[in-house]
Amino acid sequence: MCPIKKFIPLIFCLSLLMGQGTMNGFGLGHFYENQGITSAGNGLNSLVPGFQSDVSLSNPSTWHHLKYTHLSLSYSGDENTISDLPLLNRYSGLSYASWIVPIKSKGSFGLALVPYADQRITLTDTDTTSFIAFEDTLSLLKSFDRSGGIMAFKVGTSYLFRENLSVGLSVDMLFGSSRQNESIFFDGSSIIQTSRTRYSGVLAEVFISLARQEKINLFASVKQTLRGLDGIYTEKHLFDDANGNGYHDYGNPLDFPLPDSVSAKNEIRLSGIHKPKQFSFGVQSKLNKQTSISFEFSTIKDKGTIPSSLTLPINNWIDHSNDIKLSLVRFPNDISLDLVDKISFRTGLMYKSHTLALSNAIVSEVGGSLGFGFKFKAVGNQVDLNYYLGKRNYSDIFYKTEIIQQMQVGVSLGDIWFVKRRQK
């Protein structure tokens, strides 16, 4: 376990790198579920097993099929290209971390830390506007920067009720914060309105896995909001960023007014800004002992209300989304000594459709993924590599197409935990 301890801090450090995509500008940001692959070990699948035969990392009702305790980490590099402009954005960060403990093949317990919404974005207005102030004509350029995001700490468990029926539960505790900088540039410097929002909320998701026949497995989940995502919103006083560093500070030349001359405004509680309700269904058909095809459908509606006091980078948010996934997975043969048999293969196609709340415009995405995994050692250690290529179409943004590429690298290490080892 020593190497794991060494690279966990490294991954966390690297996950702080800046980046953005257009979807980050909608509402509370880009929900990670809409960002291609959820983890390198899973591939496109969410409910349907893709990590190991009968195991999906993001479906607790399958966790008890694990033979060993697993620590899984996944790191994602994303690239968004707006071809009309052309404009390229790349970013990377931790995409999945989990620790899952199977309990005598009857149940399981797991903890996971995953990004929930990525809010990083820097926008500039498409047009410069003119303003006549007394005898001067001033050119104004607006911009909006937002950084931060929301994370989810998941506590999951599963229980095998019958040989063919298991139920899982995941409680997702959402937390995070963001900093918004709304600015207007003219006459040599920017006037900036800084605000901060701290988020917290609790979601719950119930999972069911049902083996209908030997070769058919059914999966379903329902996600419900236990406590809607609330935001504690704090707005700072406007300041003239004379030193151009984006912060209200004492740099040279001095920002105006001086930081100590303004007092903080009262915090505003923004209640229920995100209340997702999701239903997902999946079916897996095993073609043979190692290969399966699967189909997943998911629909999610956000019943939250975003108040006008929370300024959004792009003045819209996703009201509801539907997605369909079709995938083919070939799992490794655990007992084979052939190297090729230790390699897993995952591929799939996905279609997503997001409907925006204010304009009813559709953001659609078509994508495909291709991934490989290598299983080694008896405890089922696994290294996974997954690539996703998608094309996103926007109907009401002045550029129409965004190409998304995502590369995920995952490491999963198995071990026997909580067993007293005999001294040699």
Partner 1 sequence: MKSLFFNMNLLGVFILSISSWQCEDNRIEADLSHLLLSMDTVSIDLISFSSYRVAPNLGSNDRLYLGTKNSLDVPLAFIGIKDHYYWSNSLDSTVTVDSLHFILYSSDSLLTQTSTPNLYFNPDSQFNESKSTYLDFVGYSIADWESIGQPNVIVNTDTSGIFTYTELVWDIMSIDSMLTDTVDSNLIRNFAIQLNNSDTNFIELFSREATSGDGPMDPKVKMYYRQNIEINEDSTFLDTSNVTIYSFGDISIIDPGSIDAESINLGLSNGIGLRSLVSISFDSASIPEGSLIRKALLSLPIDTSGSSDGYNIIVDPIDESVDTADVVFETDPYLGIGYPYRISSDIENGMFIISLKSFLQNITLGNETNLGFKVIANEKNDPFESINFDIENESAKPVLKIIYVSN
Look at the alpha carbons of 419, 39, 325, 407 in this order and tell me if their dihedral is positive or negative. negative
Contact predicate 64/105, CB 8 Å: yes
Instruction: Output the CA–CA distances (angstroms, integers) from residue 66 to 52, 201, 245, 291, 355, in the order listed.
Output: 8, 30, 50, 18, 37
- What is the nearest approach in angstroms of partner 1 to the Cβ of residue 137? 12
Is 237 an interacting residue with respect to partner 1 (CB under 8 A)?
yes
182 binds partner 1 (CB under 8 A): yes
Beta bridge partners of 322: 299, 353
Tell me how crowded residue 34 is: count the other CB atoms within 10 A of its CB: 19
Selected range binding partner 1 among 80-88, 98-106, 160-168, 268-276, rule: CB under 8 A: 80-88
Of these, 66, 114, 356, 397, which contacts partner 1 (CB under 8 A)? 397
Closest CB to partner 1 among 151 and 192?
192
208 vs 47: CA distance, rounded Å: 9
**122 contacts partner 1 (rule: CB under 8 A):** yes
State which residue, 160 or 192, has the beta carbon closest to partner 1.
Answer: 192
Selection from 275, 280, 301 nearest residue 355 by Cα: 301
Is the CB of 144 or the CB of 331 nearer to partner 1? 144
Is 239 a binding residue for partner 1 by CB under 8 A? The answer is yes
Look at the alpha carbons of 396, 398, 403, 409 in this order and tell me if their dihedral is positive or negative: negative
Contact 146, 178 (CB under 8 A): yes
Nearest alpha carbon to residue 23 among 34, 15, 12, 38: 34
One of 63, 75, 317, 331 touching partner 1 (CB under 8 A): 75
Residue 278 CB, nearest distance to partner 1 (Å)? 28
Instruction: Pick the stretch among 127-135, 156-164, 218-226, 345-353 that binds partner 1 (CB under 8 A).
Output: 127-135
Residue whose C-alpha is closest to residue 170's, from 265, 35, 256, 46: 46
**Binding piece for partner 1, criterion CB under 8 A, among 151-159, 245-253, 279-287, 393-401:** 393-401
| Residue 257 interacting with partner 1 (CB under 8 A) | yes
Instruction: Return the residues of window 277-316 that contact partner 1 according to CB under 8 A.
Output: 311-315
Q: Tell whether residue 411 is a contact of partner 1 (CB under 8 A).
A: yes
What CA–CA distance (Å, rounded) separates 416 from 70? Answer: 9
In the numeric block, which tokens belong to residue 375? 């299983």
Distance of alpha carbon 198 from alpha carbon 308, whole angstroms = 17
Site for partner 1 (CB under 8 A): which residue of 398, 420, 421, 424? Answer: 398
In angstroms, give the least distance from the CB of 117 to partner 1: 17
Using CB under 8 A, which of 88, 111, 226, 362 touches partner 1? Answer: 88
Q: How is 407-421 classified by DSSP, letter by letter?
A: EEEEEEEEE--S-PP
Report 318-347 residues binding partner 1 (CB under 8 A): none
Could you say whether residue 98 binds partner 1 (CB under 8 A)? Answer: no
Distances (CA, A) of 73 to 11, 62, 69, 370: 9, 18, 13, 19
Q: Rule CB under 8 A: is residue 100 a binding residue for partner 1?
A: no
**Which residues lie near partner 1 (CB under 8 A)?**
2-3, 6-7, 10-11, 14, 17-20, 22, 25, 75, 77, 82, 85, 87-92, 121-126, 131, 133-134, 138, 140, 142-144, 182-184, 186-187, 191, 193, 237-240, 256-257, 261-263, 311-315, 383, 397-399, 407, 409, 411
